[in-house]
Structure 1
Amino acid sequence: MSDPTRPDAALADLPTISPYTVVRLNEAQFYLAPATIGEHVAAGLRTLLRESDRGPVLILGTLWLLARRRLSSGAQAPSVIRPARSHRRRVRVWPDHPAAS
Protein backbone atom coordinates (compact mmCIF):
# COMPACT_ATOMS: atom_id res chain seq x y z
CA MET A 1 0.00 0.00 0.00
CA SER A 2 1.37 3.44 -0.87
CA ASP A 3 1.40 6.46 1.41
CA PRO A 4 -0.73 9.23 -0.18
CA THR A 5 0.67 12.71 -0.61
CA ARG A 6 -0.99 15.60 1.22
CA PRO A 7 -3.08 16.61 -1.82
CA ASP A 8 -4.05 12.99 -2.51
CA ALA A 9 -5.20 12.53 1.08
CA ALA A 10 -7.14 15.82 1.00
CA LEU A 11 -8.92 14.84 -2.22
CA ALA A 12 -9.86 11.48 -0.74
CA ASP A 13 -11.24 13.07 2.44
CA LEU A 14 -13.08 16.09 0.98
CA PRO A 15 -16.25 14.14 0.07
CA THR A 16 -16.54 12.82 3.64
CA ILE A 17 -16.52 16.21 5.38
CA SER A 18 -19.71 16.86 7.29
CA PRO A 19 -21.23 20.03 8.77
CA TYR A 20 -19.56 21.70 11.75
CA THR A 21 -16.11 20.56 10.66
CA VAL A 22 -12.86 22.54 10.71
CA VAL A 23 -10.56 21.70 7.79
CA ARG A 24 -7.01 22.67 8.69
CA LEU A 25 -4.46 22.87 5.89
CA ASN A 26 -1.11 23.34 7.60
CA GLU A 27 1.23 24.90 5.03
CA ALA A 28 -1.49 25.07 2.40
CA GLN A 29 1.03 25.41 -0.42
CA PHE A 30 1.65 21.67 -0.17
CA TYR A 31 -2.04 21.08 -0.97
CA LEU A 32 -2.53 23.83 -3.57
CA ALA A 33 0.79 24.16 -5.37
CA PRO A 34 1.19 20.84 -7.19
CA ALA A 35 -0.07 21.87 -10.63
CA THR A 36 -2.92 19.54 -11.57
CA ILE A 37 -3.80 17.99 -8.24
CA GLY A 38 -3.61 21.38 -6.49
CA GLU A 39 -6.29 22.64 -8.85
CA HIS A 40 -8.48 19.66 -7.91
CA VAL A 41 -7.99 20.33 -4.19
CA ALA A 42 -8.89 24.01 -4.67
CA ALA A 43 -11.99 23.03 -6.65
CA GLY A 44 -12.99 20.54 -3.95
CA LEU A 45 -12.63 23.20 -1.26
CA ARG A 46 -14.73 25.66 -3.26
CA THR A 47 -17.41 22.99 -3.74
CA LEU A 48 -17.40 22.27 -0.01
CA LEU A 49 -18.00 25.96 0.72
CA ARG A 50 -20.76 26.29 -1.88
CA GLU A 51 -22.83 23.23 -0.95
CA SER A 52 -25.17 24.54 1.74
CA ASP A 53 -26.14 21.06 2.97
CA ARG A 54 -22.50 20.33 3.91
CA GLY A 55 -21.99 23.43 6.02
CA PRO A 56 -21.18 25.22 8.03
CA VAL A 57 -17.51 24.38 7.68
CA LEU A 58 -14.38 26.37 8.40
CA ILE A 59 -11.35 26.03 6.16
CA LEU A 60 -8.25 27.27 7.93
CA GLY A 61 -4.92 27.28 6.15
CA THR A 62 -1.46 28.51 6.97
CA LEU A 63 0.73 29.80 4.20
CA TRP A 64 4.23 31.23 4.16
CA LEU A 65 4.47 34.67 2.54
CA LEU A 66 6.79 33.45 -0.23
CA ALA A 67 4.41 30.57 -1.01
CA ARG A 68 1.47 32.98 -1.10
CA ARG A 69 3.33 35.15 -3.59
CA ARG A 70 4.07 32.13 -5.78
CA LEU A 71 0.48 30.91 -5.67
CA SER A 72 -1.02 34.32 -6.35
CA SER A 73 1.12 35.07 -9.38
CA GLY A 74 1.49 33.20 -12.63
CA ALA A 75 -0.64 30.51 -14.16
CA GLN A 76 -2.02 29.07 -10.89
CA ALA A 77 -3.43 32.37 -9.59
CA PRO A 78 -6.82 32.47 -11.33
CA SER A 79 -7.88 28.94 -10.46
CA VAL A 80 -6.39 28.48 -7.01
CA ILE A 81 -6.15 31.76 -5.11
CA ARG A 82 -8.52 34.30 -6.66
CA PRO A 83 -11.76 32.29 -6.45
CA ALA A 84 -11.03 31.48 -2.81
CA ARG A 85 -10.94 35.19 -1.99
CA SER A 86 -14.69 35.44 -2.55
CA HIS A 87 -15.22 33.06 0.40
CA ARG A 88 -12.61 34.59 2.70
CA ARG A 89 -13.88 36.26 5.84
CA ARG A 90 -11.90 38.03 8.53
CA VAL A 91 -12.89 37.20 12.07
CA ARG A 92 -11.64 39.29 14.95
CA VAL A 93 -11.45 37.71 18.40
CA TRP A 94 -11.13 40.28 21.16
CA PRO A 95 -8.49 39.63 23.86
CA ASP A 96 -11.13 39.24 26.59
CA HIS A 97 -13.22 36.78 24.55
CA PRO A 98 -13.12 33.16 25.87
CA ALA A 99 -11.92 31.90 22.46
CA ALA A 100 -8.80 34.11 22.67
CA SER A 101 -7.24 32.07 25.48
Structure 2
Amino acid sequence: MISTITILGKALDPIKNFEQFRHVEIESREPFEEKSFYSKIPVMYWDRSKGNNPLLNIPTGCLMVIFGRLERHPQLGLYVLAEQIRHFPSNLEK
Protein backbone atom coordinates (compact mmCIF):
# COMPACT_ATOMS: atom_id res chain seq x y z
CA MET A 1 0.00 0.00 0.00
CA ILE A 2 1.29 3.45 -0.89
CA SER A 3 1.18 5.71 2.13
CA THR A 4 3.48 8.63 1.26
CA ILE A 5 1.59 11.86 0.67
CA THR A 6 2.29 15.50 -0.22
CA ILE A 7 -0.42 18.09 0.29
CA LEU A 8 -0.74 21.83 -0.24
CA GLY A 9 -3.42 23.44 1.86
CA LYS A 10 -4.50 26.15 4.26
CA ALA A 11 -3.91 25.80 8.01
CA LEU A 12 -7.14 25.70 9.98
CA ASP A 13 -7.70 25.67 13.74
CA PRO A 14 -6.49 22.80 15.93
CA ILE A 15 -9.02 20.01 16.35
CA LYS A 16 -11.05 20.21 19.57
CA ASN A 17 -10.30 17.40 22.05
CA PHE A 18 -7.28 16.32 19.95
CA GLU A 19 -4.61 18.88 20.94
CA GLN A 20 -1.86 17.36 18.76
CA PHE A 21 -3.92 17.62 15.56
CA ARG A 22 -5.05 20.44 13.31
CA HIS A 23 -7.13 20.48 10.15
CA VAL A 24 -5.66 21.47 6.80
CA GLU A 25 -8.11 22.58 4.10
CA ILE A 26 -7.41 21.41 0.56
CA GLU A 27 -9.13 22.42 -2.67
CA SER A 28 -10.18 19.85 -5.25
CA ARG A 29 -11.70 20.17 -8.70
CA GLU A 30 -13.23 17.78 -11.14
CA PRO A 31 -11.55 17.77 -14.56
CA PHE A 32 -12.93 20.51 -16.84
CA GLU A 33 -15.04 21.98 -14.01
CA GLU A 34 -14.70 25.48 -12.58
CA LYS A 35 -16.41 24.56 -9.32
CA SER A 36 -14.11 23.76 -6.39
CA PHE A 37 -14.90 21.72 -3.32
CA TYR A 38 -12.93 21.69 -0.09
CA SER A 39 -11.91 18.95 2.29
CA LYS A 40 -10.53 19.09 5.81
CA ILE A 41 -7.70 16.67 6.51
CA PRO A 42 -6.48 15.99 10.05
CA VAL A 43 -2.71 16.37 10.38
CA MET A 44 -0.33 15.62 13.26
CA TYR A 45 3.40 16.40 13.49
CA TRP A 46 5.67 13.33 13.56
CA ASP A 47 7.02 13.73 17.13
CA ARG A 48 3.45 13.93 18.55
CA SER A 49 4.42 16.72 20.95
CA LYS A 50 2.04 19.28 22.40
CA GLY A 51 4.69 21.78 23.48
CA ASN A 52 6.88 23.46 20.86
CA ASN A 53 5.07 21.85 17.93
CA PRO A 54 5.89 23.46 14.54
CA LEU A 55 2.55 22.34 13.07
CA LEU A 56 0.54 24.01 15.84
CA ASN A 57 2.71 27.17 15.80
CA ILE A 58 1.76 28.01 12.19
CA PRO A 59 -0.83 30.81 12.15
CA THR A 60 -4.33 29.87 10.99
CA GLY A 61 -4.88 30.84 7.35
CA CYS A 62 -1.30 30.28 6.15
CA LEU A 63 -0.58 28.07 3.15
CA MET A 64 1.32 24.90 4.01
CA VAL A 65 3.14 22.17 2.11
CA ILE A 66 3.22 18.93 4.05
CA PHE A 67 5.25 15.84 3.28
CA GLY A 68 4.19 12.84 5.31
CA ARG A 69 2.45 9.50 5.41
CA LEU A 70 -1.03 8.19 6.04
CA GLU A 71 -1.84 6.79 9.47
CA ARG A 72 -5.03 5.62 11.16
CA HIS A 73 -6.48 7.04 14.39
CA PRO A 74 -9.21 5.12 16.28
CA GLN A 75 -11.57 8.14 16.40
CA LEU A 76 -10.43 10.42 13.55
CA GLY A 77 -9.85 7.72 10.95
CA LEU A 78 -7.19 8.48 8.33
CA TYR A 79 -4.85 11.38 9.02
CA VAL A 80 -1.51 12.66 7.74
CA LEU A 81 1.51 12.21 9.97
CA ALA A 82 3.62 15.20 8.88
CA GLU A 83 7.35 14.55 8.52
CA GLN A 84 8.26 17.89 6.89
CA ILE A 85 6.31 21.14 6.89
CA ARG A 86 6.84 24.39 5.01
CA HIS A 87 4.50 27.33 5.44
CA PHE A 88 3.97 30.63 3.69
CA PRO A 89 2.60 33.71 5.47
CA SER A 90 -0.95 34.65 4.54
CA ASN A 91 0.09 38.27 3.98
CA LEU A 92 2.52 37.72 1.09
CA GLU A 93 2.67 40.71 -1.25
CA LYS A 94 2.11 40.16 -4.95
TM-score by length of structure 1 reads: 0.21
TM-score by length of structure 2 reads: 0.22
- Structure of greater Rg: 1
Higher strand share: 2
Higher helix share: 1
